[in-house]
Homo-oligomer: A and B are copies of this chain.
Amino acid sequence: MAPKAPTTTKSSTAKTATPNPSPKERSAAAKARLLAAANELFYAEGIQGVGIDRVIEHAGVAKATLYSAFGNKEGLIRAYLQARHDATSERMAKELAERYETAKERLVGVFEVQGLSFTDPSFRGCAFIGANADAPNIPAVEESSHNYRAWLHALFLDLAVEAGAKDPVLLAQQLVLLYDGSGISAWLDKDKAADNTARTVAAALVDAATS
């Protein structure tokens, strides 16, 4: 342990690169390691089932660093869920933009992008469903889930409007049902092809709504 960093006494004042980390950079790195550890452990074993000690050990960080960076466990939970939300929405936007042209294609393509995560061996269902089940009544969980659900509905609703659906609200609700159901089957039934099932139904619904 204690890798004894090479003592480069030369004060490297370069601002962009990090030959020698400044205090602010060290702090940011510790925060990122904590967030990565929380993501792995909370997602795999649940929020209540993972203690602070497990997180800091996995991150290789002192306990005081966690409390300095996030305040308390709820702060870490909030940051974990926020990072999940950001990663999911950014990946979805990126993949939809790269893969499809029209709103109609994207409405169906959402399920293909969703299915990309099903083959990940660490896949364990939607993190927000899990957080609501194992840590209800925690404000950070309720608020983050509310934001996530709003994003998911808006994703489908915006595309449904853009695609010219006759009843975009109804179409979006139907597709949300399929999206959640697909995630549940991929998780609990270990059905890695659940996205195909959902996509087929979604295509029929989109066609019927924009005929």
| Contact of A137 (CB < 8 Å), options: B45, B125, B128, B197 | B45
Chain B residue contacts of A170, Cβ below 8 A: 197
Query: How many chain-A residues does the 8 Å CB contact rule pick out?
Result: 43
| Contact of A177 (CB < 8 Å), options: B45, B153, B173, B185 | B185
* A188 in contact with B137 given A48-B46, A198-B177 (CB within 8 Å): no
| A180 is an interface residue with CB less than 8 A from chain B | yes
A124 and B134 CA atoms in complex are apart in Å by 12
Q: Which residues of A contact B (CB under 8 A)?
A: 45-46, 48-49, 124-125, 128-137, 145, 149, 153, 170, 173-174, 176-182, 184-185, 187-189, 191, 194, 197-198, 200-201, 204-205, 208
Q: Provide 28 A-B residue pairs closer than 8 Å at the C-beta atoms, listed in order of the A residue.
A: A46-B48, A46-B134, A48-B49, A48-B134, A49-B135, A129-B184, A130-B134, A132-B133, A132-B187, A133-B133, A134-B134, A145-B188, A149-B189, A173-B191, A173-B197, A174-B200, A176-B185, A177-B177, A177-B178, A177-B181, A177-B194, A177-B198, A177-B201, A178-B178, A181-B181, A181-B182, A201-B205, A204-B204
A134 touches B177 (CB 8 A): no
The main secondary structure of chain A at its interface with chain B is helix
Chain B residue contacts of A153, Cβ below 8 A: 189
Q: How far is the CB of A170 from chain B (nearest CB, A)?
A: 7
- 13 new A-B contacts, CB < 8 A, other than A49-B136, A129-B184, are A46-B133, A46-B135, A48-B134, A128-B188, A129-B188, A132-B188, A134-B134, A149-B189, A173-B197, A174-B200, A177-B178, A180-B181, A201-B205
